[in-house]
Structure 1
Amino acid sequence: MSKLLCFKAAIAWMVVLIASASWAQCGVTQDCSLFPPAPTLNVCTANLCFRNAEARREYEQKNNCTIFDGDLCASRVVNAATQCCVMDSVTQISKIQQKQYTKLDKKFNWDIYSKECTKMQQSQAKPDELWAQCKVGQKHSANDDYPVVHVEQNGSARTYCIDGCSTPPEIVKLSAFSGIFIYADRNNPTGAGPGGIGNSSSFFGACSSHDKCYQTCIANDQSVCDNNMLSDMQVVCNGIPADHETTFKGLLGENSVNTRHACLLAAEKMHTGLRKFGSSAFNLRRQQYCQCC
């Protein structure tokens, strides 16, 4: 055998031995560009130096391990399609976070989520168990009291679902019964019905902006959205003539109240209700609309 053939044979066997050694390092990415080319042996046809995908799967099954191609997060493999590597806000240790919530997490904390998910963005995911595609006349999710009345596109991200003021039906009735609302109208508790002043006292615009605020993934908290809604409602109320009176039938018969004052009272009570009981709705929307990366 000539020296040249011996040299080629030695190189070929060296490649086999190196490849075999790389198999023993399960989970360690190998760069085949470092090895001499050996097309006749089919050793380095992939980045992990296995003959083919089947050989790789067989090795994983036989050795009860998984070979990764991507990045690591705290020594764990990150699935880039569904996961993000974030820094725990308390321990400052890297951890894996799901890119998108698909089921409601009742322990969800927006303050922590927004701090850890530094690359957070509006979700572009398709409808799932947590988020049903917006359709007028249908509820946004099983937890909602009212159907969607307006759909607004948001580029390639999930659409905004607007259902107006979301005061629960039983609270609307109770508020009207107790005199907090003049009329049992969730969007216009002051101006609806006979003797009212119509849409000029409607809170629908303020509540619609509030819906979008909950559904927008920016570094604000619930109080910002709630306080902005209150300000918008107060603007509506202050547009009512100061001397306007509304006559209606109350518990003690016919009654007359100052419309502006009644409007401001309704706005304050709706805001108070959100501050006390609105966290579940806020957390639901942020899980529906915000993805970690």
Structure 2
Amino acid sequence: MSFLNLLDLHPGLADGIRGKLTANQPLSAVTWFRIGGPAQLMFQPADEADLSAFLAKLPESVPVLPVGLGSNLLIRDGGLEGVVIRLSAKGFGGVEILEGNRLKVGAAVPDKRLSEAAAKAGLGGFSFYTGIPGGIGGALRMNAGAHGTETCQRMVQLTGIDRQGKRHVLTNADMGYGYRHSGASKDLIFTEAVFEGEPASEDTVRQEMAEVVAHREKAQPIREKTGGSTFKNPAGTSAWKEVDAAGCRGLTIGGAQMSEMHCNFMINTGEASGHDLELLGETVRKRVFEHSGIRLEWEIKRLGQPGAEGAIAPFLEHS
């Protein structure tokens, strides 16, 4: 499937823009599942000013979606209409050590790199990022966390560009953080953030990081094509326990499977489609609900248009 070229539909859109614009860019190359249709237009801005200038010119009718490292993302087979914005490491990948045990971090920085930078600076409190396979932009948006620590406990303030190209600075309190959630406007594209840690020896921090890595390698299918945790943990229990109790460990549909190692992880066994993965997830939700009455909520973001196999209605839609 391909879309009409937005650059042809909106002459002058690329004028003065320094970043890279690509029509019908396949998204399978930028998601951890390695599936998904094309983006109608992908924009990789040169820097924050370039992003602001582009958004100011882009007609309001055109949808915009920022995509980071693609680790927590399921793009449907029909692709994404509108503009996908992917921040470059060159323009948004810096880490700067500030006074007061703080770091200023670009939104394109991988979570693991933040923990590395903090370790070198003698700052504790960031080891949990070692085990999160995403980028800072996504972590800020969804309040990513692991091992008892969440992004909201370290983030001081962030900068974002709105749909009209205006720059905003938000404090931690402005974000309305909750479990795997923030209340920030969906129109904001985060570009950088300031985090605060605690003084700690590099050896101590690196030992904590090594423990996180060891746990992840032992418990999670990190060498598979996966999207991380599929469902949010329900109150009072763990998603994987409910999936396992409902008999869904190893459940397979087409090329998609609930991991035998960690059954809250979906994996692409090689030839899965977006349809396979979403159908598997909804099947698991149905079986868990029938077994325990628990309504699992997706943690993975599912976006885009369905492919030739059609849309998948949520199994719990009318339950």
Q: TM-score range by the shorter chain?
A: under 0.3
Task: Give the TM-score of the pair, scaled to structure 1.
Answer: 0.26
- The structure richer in helix per residue is 1
Larger gyration radius, structure 1 or structure 2: 1
Structure with the larger RCO, 1 or 2 (CA within 8 Å, 6+ apart): 2
Task: Give the TM-score of the pair, scaled to structure 2.
Answer: 0.24
